[in-house]
Amino acid sequence: MPDRGSGRGPNGPNGPRGPRGPGGPRFSVGRPPRGARSLLITAAILAGLAILFAMFAGFWTDWLWYRSVGYTSVYRTELLTRASMFVGSGLVMTLVVGFNIWLAHRLRPPLSAMSMEQQNLDRYRMGIAPFKRWVLIGVSLVIGLIAGGSASGQWRTWLQWVNGRSFGVEDPQFHRDVSFYAFDYPFYRFVLGFAFAVIVLSTIAAALTHYLYGGVRLTTPGSRITQAATGHLSVLLGLFVALKAVAYWLDRYGLALKGGDFRNAEGWTGLRYVDANAYLPAKTILTIIAAICAVLFFATLWRRGWQLPVIGLGLMVLSAVLIGGVYPALVQQFQVRPNEQARETPYIQHHMDSTKDAYDIADASIEDYSGVSEASPETLRNAVGDTASIRLLDPSVVSPAFQQIQQVRGYYQFPGTLDVDRYPIGNEGAEQDTVIGLREMNVNQIPERNWINEHFRYTHGFGVVAANGTTVQSNGQPDFTERDLPQEGQLTDLGAYEPRIYFGEYTTQYSIVGGPQQEIDYAGEDGEVEYSYEADAGVSLDNYFVRAAYALTMGEPQILYSGAIGDGSRILYNRTPKERVEAVAPWLTIDGDPYPAVVDGRVLWIVDAYTTSNGYPYSSRTTLGDVTETSLTETQGDVIAQENQINYIRNSVKATVDAYTGEVELYEWDEQDPVLQTWRSAFPGTVHDRDEIGDELMGHLRYPQDLFNVQRDLLQRYHVDSADQFYSGSERWQVPDDPTQQGQSVPPYYLSMRMPDQDGQVFSLTTTFTPQGRDTLAAYMAVEADARSDDYGTMRILTLPANTTVWGPQQVQSRFNSDPDIATEINILQRGDSEVEYGNLLTVPLEGGLLYVEPVYVRGANTDYPLLRKVLVTYGEQTAFEDTLGEALDVVFGVTESGEEPPPEDETPPDEGEEEPPTDATLEEAIQDATQAWEESQQAFEAGDWGAYAEAQERLEEAFGRIEELEGGQPEETPSE
């Protein structure tokens, strides 16, 4: 027999030995040679280093990026906070869970019972025995890592709690400052939730350990649990119930943030009658019961048995059902429902007041407006010019015209919806509404797509393109005030500015600039001009370690070895304005529509940013993504929200992003906002004071559309002052659908105009309201949008009488569409392959009535971009469809601006040197013939009579030819007032 302990036998500790060749060394079967082992070890080390480098590369490139924009303090604060919460929470979870596992093992019975259950467990105990310490450490660490990762995501909650500032406003029920609910309450809830997780996991781990080592027995005869296990688990259960008592107490304050739907408040937040008179006392009683129950569990350390704790636990559960569920239901049924309005009135008033304060709509000025004017036609006609600078250029329609006329090269791109701003004209300081866009790079349209072209050659756009908002050229094209390459126009009269656009809304790819590879600057008369980036923006690729990090994070190995990268090369990324502002201020909610402006010789992107909260007691909750959606959302962009569900918002920060250097500047705007003050304390030095905003930049700041959309959504319900009116819902409004794009809310419009109580025109943001379920006009609202004005942000609402019928936008559009004369002219405009596009339907209060103006564009088959051809105007019962705004106003009011009656339609005398235009009868006959032929062709088409259809089409073409011939002698006029 071989000696098992000697190591010489086949089963000795040295294991089986392989054959030994003549004079050869002895080696073990299956064991790799020493050289192979070295290779495996080396490969494993290299693989580990590669994994570590991959993990490190992400952190390192992020640090380099934040250093390049000068906001390393933001990255450091966020990273350290996350790391501290990860380590702290993970360490607490690891130690507590590990301690309870160790304690359960320590309290195991010395002998296990003789039973089949324990014999089966013996095998597991024996298998674990050699690795008990490692199992304990491993299980505890895994649980700790998971807990730490979850806790690190609450870094904003921690920073708000540590740095929270007072709102100076108390809630009406508990008389706590709003900061308690916005900053303290979320942190207490986080700590409570974490404590529950610690206790629950510790209880589960301890119970499993007790079961594994015989402290808890499920099928063994006799006692099912040892005294030691009873005491240990009782303490853990007592801690759980004690935490439940704390949770019940916090739930009392949570009632002020309780959500739900109530009557006309879909986002209701706050206490109602049943909460204050049933749930609130119930939570207090349950707190006391839970505390007593916890004491009973702790008492098992001295008093054996589970009877009292189990009785206490049963009492708590029964109380939660009866006191926390049945009793409030009875109060609602027998006290509230019979007289709901009277019971709920004080709570509705609290809800209304808090909502108005939280959304900054409490000071909206509401005035009655007749909607019908008694002024003379002369007064009305002369008042138009003083009341509004009516914008005929619709920024959501004319982008294709900018694209076709000012694109210059196929790889330049304009946004689908352009922006409206103000720029001075002449030397008198007067300003005009201007439609503006940047010529940005579209790498998808470059002549040949490859890595060098996409990331080294075609790196930036070039130039601002702007057009007068109130006039167009005689051919219907935009009246450009800044145009062409190189730049020409009025904006350049302000002084030379840097036209290169390295950072924009469409620059989503990275670029490597400033090195040996030259860039395409712009297309000049002699071909494409080259350029090399001169700023120090971006991250320098000055060594192979940095290049390797970016090759890994960008997923492009060529960054590591490409010869196109050399001295001076810098990588630009995170290049859209919204990305950059969100990165340097991760505590802000970013507006969906950054807009460009020429400021002090630079092209700046201006980005509105908001501080938000979901913890304002009694204030209605709203969903940002829903209420900011309009017919332009797809082309303008969505809100980037830290919290999509909010009940407090302020436009507290105005940010700028330099289109050439990418430099980001944050400026305080709302100096009274406690949320901003909290974040400024958490991230000191990142936000400039408001008085550091320069005068020229101030002239381009405006009231943001997304904030306005949120506020107008709330004002549909919260414009009333009486809780009774709110309860009944009889005065509820709605934002009408865009009459030209059904199914989407009409967007607000920027317009320089004068409200009835104002002395002169002011750059404003406007909207209309209709009664719920109806298309007539209920109200008109304008907010002063010029940041230089002392009345910036002032909301003025004109409410129309409920007993009168004033046309709303949908009805006005329907009147346009149903007018037979207009329909005839529209059909003529649509001849051939031409398409008619309706522009923004602008509404202007005018001398007690309402003036509606809508530009009408025609997109021809040969031009493929819209040209302004007609202007629709309506006032009261009068509607006009003319070539120019001035002509349409003359027709509507029956008088010219000089006070004379306008000449009969189509009989305007020609200027000297012009041919006599066609007579009314001749042109009218041609139009009637065309209309009749078109109607007959449609009837024949529907009837399937193709012969009659062809004959009608021939007559239609002949009539169109006569119309073109007759109209050919008429002079074109600029469609402006």
Q: What pLDDT does 427 receive?
A: 60
Q: What is the pLDDT of residues 809-832, one digit of tens each?
A: 999 998 888 888 898 888 888 877
Distance linking the first and last C-alpha atoms of the chain = 118
Residue 338 to residue 488: CA distance in whole angstroms: 73
Contact 348, 754 (CB under 8 A): no
Question: Cβ contacts of residue 882 below 8 Å, gap of 6+?
Answer: 870, 871, 873, 888, 890, 891
Mean pLDDT in residue range 103-120 = 74
The amino acid sitting at 624 is L
3-state secondary structure of 250: helix
Query: Exposed, middle or buried: residue 13 (CB in 10 Å: 0-12, 13-18, 19+)?
Result: exposed
The amino acid sitting at 363 is D
Q: What pLDDT does 227 receive?
A: 86
Percent of the chain having pLDDT more than 90? 62
Return the number of other C-beta atoms located less than 10 Å from residue 640's C-beta: 16
* Pair of tokens at residue 396: 């959501």
Query: Does an H or E element contain 493, and which?
Result: none
3-state secondary structure of 954: helix
Mean pLDDT in residue range 123-127 = 72
Torsion (CA) 481, 483, 486, 489 in degrees, nearest 10: -10
Q: Which residue has the higher pLDDT, 216 or 173?
A: 173
Lowest mean pLDDT, pick from 170-184, 477-491, 687-701 = 477-491
Q: Which residue has the higher pLDDT, 229 or 123?
A: 229
Angle at 593 (CA atoms; ends 588, 594), nearest 5 degrees: 75
> pLDDT band at 962, cuts 50/70/90?
confident
Contact 158, 187 (CB under 8 A): yes
Query: Exposed, middle or buried: residue 637 (CB in 10 Å: 0-12, 13-18, 19+)?
Result: buried
Return the closest-CA partner of residue 272 out of 327, 323, 340.
340
In Å, how far are 491, 838, 852 from 810, measured between CA atoms?
38, 13, 11
* Pair of tokens at residue 126: 């024996």
Residue 459 to residue 522: CA distance in whole angstroms: 11
Residue tagged 């493929």 (tokens): 864
> pLDDT band at 973, cuts 50/70/90?
very low
Query: Which string of DSSP letters, residue by residue, matches 285-326?
Result: HHHHHHHHHHHHHHGGGTS--SHHHHHHHHHHHHHHHIIIII
Residue 108 to residue 128: CA distance in whole angstroms: 15
3-state secondary structure of 537: coil
Q: Which residues pair with 388 in a beta bridge?
A: 753
Return the closest-CA partner of residue 960 out of 928, 937, 935.
928
Count CA atoms closer than 13 A to 561's CA, side-chain side: 2
**Residue 198, pLDDT above cutoff 90:** yes
In Å, how far are 296, 749, 834, 884, 968 from 476, measured between CA atoms?
86, 22, 14, 10, 16
Q: Which residues pair with 656 in a beta bridge?
A: 606, 665
**Residue 10, pLDDT above cutoff 50:** no
Residue tagged 């405006």 (tokens): 702
Q: Which residues pair with 653 in a beta bridge?
A: 609, 668
* Pair of tokens at residue 931: 């209309």
> pLDDT band at 160, cuts 50/70/90?
very high
Lowest mean pLDDT, pick from 48-57, 650-659, 832-841 = 48-57
**Residue 18, pLDDT above cutoff 60:** no
Percent of the chain having pLDDT more than 70? 86
> pLDDT band at 522, cuts 50/70/90?
confident
Residue 874 to residue 880: CA distance in whole angstroms: 6
Return the number of other C-beta atoms located less than 10 Å from residue 892's C-beta: 25
Residue 694 to residue 699: CA distance in whole angstroms: 9
Q: What pLDDT does 150 receive?
A: 94
In Å, how far are 252, 323, 419, 885, 902 from 976, measured between CA atoms?
63, 72, 20, 5, 16
Our measurement of the distance from residue 429's CA atom to the centroid of its chain's CA atoms, rounded to an integer in Å, reads 36
Lowest mean pLDDT, pick from 187-196, 347-356, 820-829 = 820-829
**Residue 20, pLDDT above cutoff 60:** no
> pLDDT band at 636, cuts 50/70/90?
low
Residue 754 to residue 751: CA distance in whole angstroms: 9
Residue 928 to residue 824: CA distance in whole angstroms: 8
Mean pLDDT in residue range 440-452 = 92
Q: What pLDDT does 401 receive?
A: 93
Q: What pLDDT does 29 receive?
A: 44
Q: What pLDDT does 644 receive?
A: 77
Residue 430 to residue 422: CA distance in whole angstroms: 10
Residue tagged 């923006």 (tokens): 537
3-state secondary structure of 721: coil
Q: What pLDDT does 30 receive?
A: 52
Q: Which residue has the higher pLDDT, 869 or 43?
A: 869
Residue 876 to residue 95: CA distance in whole angstroms: 78
> pLDDT band at 549, cuts 50/70/90?
very high
> pLDDT band at 911, cuts 50/70/90?
very low
Contact 588, 651 (CB under 8 A): no
Contact 361, 781 (CB under 8 A): no
Residue tagged 């400024």 (tokens): 680
Residue 447 to residue 272: CA distance in whole angstroms: 65
Residue 82 to residue 74: CA distance in whole angstroms: 12
Residue 933 to residue 953: CA distance in whole angstroms: 7
Mean pLDDT in residue range 350-375 = 94
**Residue 546, pLDDT above cutoff 60:** yes
Return the closest-CA partner of residue 421 out of 405, 438, 402, 439.
438
**Residue 786, pLDDT above cutoff 90:** yes
Strands 835-838 and 842-846 turn out to be unpaired
Question: Cβ contacts of residue 134 below 8 Å, gap of 6+?
Answer: none
Entry field: residues in the chain? 977
Return the closest-CA partner of residue 652 out of 165, 187, 180, 259.
165
Query: Exposed, middle or buried: residue 23 (CB in 10 Å: 0-12, 13-18, 19+)?
Result: exposed
**Residue 881, pLDDT above cutoff 90:** yes
Residue 962 to residue 925: CA distance in whole angstroms: 10
Torsion (CA) 478, 483, 485, 491 in degrees, nearest 10: -170
Q: What pLDDT does 912 receive?
A: 39
Mean pLDDT in residue range 662-678 = 96
Question: Cβ contacts of residue 4 below 8 Å, gap of 6+?
Answer: 11, 12
> pLDDT band at 146, cuts 50/70/90?
very high
Q: What pLDDT does 190 receive?
A: 97
Q: Which residue has the higher pLDDT, 494 or 872?
A: 872
Torsion (CA) 678, 681, 687, 689 in degrees, nearest 10: 90
Question: b/e per residue, 422-451, with b = 16+ CB within 10 A?
Answer: bbbeeeeeebbbbbbbbbbbbbeebeeeee
DSSP annotation of 216 reads B
Mean pLDDT in residue range 520-535 = 86
Mean pLDDT in residue range 194-205 = 96
Count CA atoms closer than 13 A to 690's CA, side-chain side: 14
The amino acid sitting at 769 is F
> pLDDT band at 1, cuts 50/70/90?
very low
Return the number of other C-beta atoms located less than 10 Å from residue 757's C-beta: 9
* Pair of tokens at residue 517: 């590879």
Global confidence as pTM? 0.85
**Residue 972, pLDDT above cutoff 50:** no
Mean pLDDT in residue range 871-892 = 93
Mean pLDDT in residue range 589-613 = 95
**Residue 523, pLDDT above cutoff 70:** yes
Q: What pLDDT does 253 receive?
A: 97
**Residue 412, pLDDT above cutoff 60:** yes
Q: What pLDDT does 715 receive?
A: 95
Query: Does an H or E element contain 92, and which?
Result: helix 72-106
Q: What pLDDT does 80 receive?
A: 96
Mean pLDDT in residue range 606-632 = 90
Q: What pLDDT does 635 receive?
A: 62
Mean pLDDT in residue range 656-666 = 97
469 phi-psi bin (left φ>0, alpha ψ -120 to 50, beta other): alpha
**Residue 384, pLDDT above cutoff 70:** yes
Q: Which residue has the higher pLDDT, 467 or 42?
A: 467
Question: b/e per residue, 306-327, with b = 16+ CB within 10 A?
Answer: beebeebbeebeebbeebbeeb
What average pLDDT does the chain have? 86
Q: Which residue has the higher pLDDT, 975 or 406?
A: 406
Q: What pLDDT does 899 receive?
A: 63
The amino acid sitting at 213 is Y
Q: What pLDDT does 84 receive?
A: 96
Q: What pLDDT does 506 receive?
A: 92
Contact 218, 192 (CB under 8 A): no
**Residue 49, pLDDT above cutoff 60:** yes
Contact 822, 806 (CB under 8 A): no
Lowest mean pLDDT, pick from 11-25, 450-464, 617-631, 651-665 = 11-25
> pLDDT band at 450, cuts 50/70/90?
very high
Query: Does an H or E element contain 251, and which?
Result: helix 227-254
